[in-house]
Structures are given as C-alpha cells and as structure tokens.
Amino acid sequence: MNLNIPDTRQRILARRLDDGLEIVAADAATEFDVSLDTIRRDILALEAEGKAHRVRGGAVPISKPVAPLHSRLAGAGGINPNIAHATISQIGDASTLLVDGGSTTLGLIAHLSNFTGRLVMTPSPWVAIACQENDIDVFLLGGKLSARGGIAVGGLALGKVADVTADIAILGACGIDAEFGLSTDDYEEAQMKAAMHSAAARTFVVTGAEKIGKRARHHTLHMNQIDLLITDADQGATELLTRSGDRVITV
C-alpha cells in the first residue's frame, strides 16, 4: 500500500472516523511518514467531502443524520437500564421536568415516578403519551412537528417554551464533543433544545456512547451550559469531557 498517495491515506483516515475514532494529526503524520502539513491537507479534503470535522490538532467524526423518530422506534432496543436508573436518581424529587424527544429520553418515562405534583412538559407527542400511560401529569408544547426528532419546533413551539419554567431540562443528543458541545442534526430542533435549556434551572444531557466525541450539524449548547451528562460510554471516551471540568456520569 502506497501511503504517498493522498486518496489512500484519506480512505484510511475516513474509515477510522466512520468507526468513531479521532484523528490526531501529529500521530497520523508519524504513522504515515509524511509531513504534518500533508496530513492537514488530507483532513481539509475529508472535511470538504463532509467526512470529518476539523479541530485543533486533527479531526473528529461527523455524526450522520439519524432516520425519522417513528422509523427508529420500530427497531429500537430501549434505553440502557443503567442510564435510566442513573438519570432517575439525579432527577430525585424535582417536580417540573422539560423532557426532550428522541428514543433515549422517551425510554426514561417508564422509569419515572408519578408522585403527586410532578409535571412533565414536552414538545414530543410520544413522550406525552408515554407520560399518560404512566399516570404522570403532562403538558404538551405544540407546534409544527419535526420528523427526525419527533418534537414540536418553530415559532409557536418556541413561544410556548418561553412561557414556562422547570427544575430540570432533560435533553437528548445527536452529538456531544468537548470543544463543540451539544449538537443537533436539525436547526429548528437545535433551537428548541436551547430554549428548553433557557427555561430550566438545570440541564441534563442523556445519551448513548455512540454520540460521544461526535459533532452533528448544528451547535446547540456549550459544555459549560450543561450541568450533567449521563452516558454509557466508557471513561476513555469521556476523558476529554471530564478533563475540561464537565460533570459526567458514566454507567
């Protein structure tokens, strides 16, 4: 294999990014026995093709947009019980929750206690129905329904969120990265998540390991705006997040 050919190097780097691995430019230059500038040009080429997000010192994987929620739920295996239990423990007796859409946050509802006075506010009709099935009081924040995340978006929905307040906002993630923060595939969904954060005293992000270290299309929140990240990623995957002082619970 001739590593002096740009296409060859870039195919190798692209495969690693597809596998969720980060590219450290200095390490890649040593491995391929080429200059650091050559690797930087490779990364620029991959970024131009939509295969990488360039960061200081290298590149990180780009999150591929997910399928619409209704199609994902059909084959979903449910939330990792350890994530659910850790999140419920952190919620405690908070009486008002703003709960995002998505399969992970939806999976929390079955584990959520329905003590008197608790209210879940959500832009997701799926979450709202799950709350009713679990005898939890729910307030549905309506508006245009986004297919990908299955939540209400747009001016009407944002106006509804601006008129409420909650103890905790519980958000899902399309990507979460130490430098880029929380990110979302859809711009209007990113706006809704940011609005939910603004309406809550605290913000939790709950996500599986596959979203850690990745960047979706639209920046949503900086890491210092997130009070707690709960994930089943191992400590190696979350090292950059914890090193930055972010509060992370790994299960």
Task: Report the pLDDT value the prediction gives residue 1, as an integer from 0 to 100.
Answer: 65
Range of 10's domain? 6-60
What tens digit of pLDDT does each residue of 127-184 get?
999 999 999 999 999 999 988 788 999 999 999 999 999 999 999 999 999 989 999 9
Average pLDDT (67-85) is 72
Q: Is residue 30 part of a domain?
A: yes
Closest of 13, 6, 40, 7 to residue 25, by C-alpha? 40
Which residues, other chains included, contact 234 with Cβ-Cβ below 8 Å and sequence gap of 6+?
209, 250
**Do both 150 and 94 map to the same domain?**
yes
Q: What is the CATH number of the domain that holds 225?
A: 3.40.50.1360
Task: Give 68's pLDDT tier (boundaries 50, 70, 90).
Answer: low
In 96-143, where does DSSP find H-type helix? 103-108, 125-133
CA distance linking residue 62 with residue 64, whole number of Å? 6
- Our count of domains for the chain comes to 2
Q: Which of 15, 40, 60 is the last residue of a domain?
A: 60
Largest Cα–Cα distance in the chain? 68
What tens digit of pLDDT does each residue of 54-67 get?
888 998 887 766 65
Q: For the whole model, what pTM was predicted?
A: 0.76
**Do both 136 and 183 map to the same domain?**
yes
**Do both 172 and 93 map to the same domain?**
yes
CB of 60 closer than 8 Å to CB of 177: yes
